[in-house]
Structure 1
Amino acid sequence: MELTITLPKDFQTKTVRELLEAEWLVPRKVRHFLRTRKNVLVNDEPALFHFQVNAKDVVTLIFEDSDYPKPHLLLGNPKKVNVLFEDQQLIILNKPAGMKTHPNQPDEADTLLNHLAAYLAAKDQIPYVVHRLDKETSGAILFAKNPFVLPILGRMLEKKQIYRRYQAVVAGSISKENWTINKKMGRDRHDRRKRLIDNKNGAIAITHVQVASKVNNQTYVYCILETGRTHQIRVHLASEGYPIVGDPLYNPTAKGRLMLHAIELHLVHPFSKETISVTAAPSLWE
Structure 2
Amino acid sequence: MTESLTIHIDESQKHDRLDKVLSLHNEEWSRSQVQQWIKEGHVLVNGEKIKPNYKCNTGDEVLLSIPEPEELDVIPEKMDLDVYYEDADVIVVNKPRGMVVHPAAGHATGTLVNGLMAHCKDLSGINGVLRPGIVHRIDKDTSGLLMVAKNDFAHEKLVNQLVDKSVTRKYQAIVHGVISHDVGTVDAPIGRDKKDRQSMTVTDENSRQAVTHFRVIDRYKDFTHIECQLETGRTHQIRVHMKYIGYPLVGDPKYGPRKTLDIGGQALHAGILGFIHPRTEEYMEFEAPAPIEFEQLLNQIKNR
Normalised by the length of structure 2, the TM-score is 0.68
- Residue identity opposite 1:246 in structure 2: G
Shift of 1:205: 0.7
Provide closer, same or farther for how the CA distance between residues 68 and 192 of structure 1 changes in structure 2, counting only shifts above 3 A. closer
Deviations along 1:185-221, one digit per CA (max 9) or x if unpaired, are: 1101222221011035421111001011112311000
Provide closer, same or farther for how the CA distance between residues 193 and 28 of structure 1 changes in structure 2, counting only shifts above 3 A. closer
Contact 1:73–1:106 under 8 Å retained in 2: no
Show the counterpart of 2:38.
Answer: none
Q: Does 1:219 align with 2:224?
A: yes
Shift of 1:267: 1.0
SS at match of 1:208: strand
Seq. identity, % = 37
> Structure 2: how far apart are the matches of 1:250 and 1:107?
22
Note the 1:171-182 alignment, pairs <5 A: 171-182=176-187
Show the counterpart of 1:8.
Answer: none
Structure 2 residues without counterparts, runs of 5 or longer: 6-67, 125-131, 299-304
Q: Does 1:83 align with 2:91?
A: no
> Structure 1: how far apart are the matches of 2:150 and 2:206?
36
Q: Does 1:143 align with 2:143?
A: no
Q: Does 1:253 align with 2:259?
A: yes
> Structure 1: how far apart are the matches of 2:198 and 2:123?
32
Deviations along 1:121-157, one digit per CA (max 9) or x if unpaired, are: 4xx5564110000111000011101223211111111
> Structure 2: how far apart are the matches of 1:70 and 1:128?
13
SS at match of 2:207: coil
Show the counterpart of 2:271.
Answer: 263
Shift of 1:28: 5.6
> Structure 1: how far apart are the matches of 2:211 and 2:163?
13
Contact 2:200–2:235 under 8 Å retained in 1: yes
- Residue identity opposite 1:282 in structure 2: A
Show the counterpart of 1:116.
Answer: 116
Match of 1:208 among 204, 209, 213: 213
Deviations along 1:49-94, one digit per CA (max 9) or x if unpaired, are: xxxxxxxxxxxxxxxxxx8754321112332x11011111010110
SS at match of 1:71: coil
> Structure 1: how far apart are the matches of 2:106 and 2:252?
28
Show the counterpart of 2:233.
Answer: 228
Contact 2:100–2:107 under 8 Å retained in 1: no
Higher mean C-alpha deviation, range 270-279 or range 68-77: 68-77
Q: Does 1:281 align with 2:289?
A: yes
Aligned length: 222
SS at match of 2:91: strand
Match of 1:131 among 136, 159, 164: 136
Q: Does 1:92 align with 2:100?
A: no
Show the counterpart of 1:244.
Answer: 249
Note the 1:173-192 alignment, pairs <5 A: 173-192=178-197
Provide closer, same or farther for how the CA distance between residues 73 and 148 of structure 1 changes in structure 2, counting only shifts above 3 A. farther
Deviations along 1:90-125, one digit per CA (max 9) or x if unpaired, are: 10110111111111149702111111111114xx55
- Residue identity opposite 2:78 in structure 1: N
- Residue identity opposite 2:227 in structure 1: Y
Normalised by the length of structure 1, the TM-score is 0.72
The structure whose Rg is larger is 1
> Structure 2: how far apart are the matches of 1:247 and 1:95?
18
Shift of 1:161: 1.8
Show the counterpart of 2:74.
Answer: 73
Show the counterpart of 2:161.
Answer: 156
> Structure 1: how far apart are the matches of 2:185 and 2:176?
18
Contact 1:68–1:147 under 8 Å retained in 2: no
Structure 1 residues without counterparts, runs of 5 or longer: 1-25, 30-66
SS at match of 1:149: helix
> Structure 2: how far apart are the matches of 1:139 and 1:27?
32
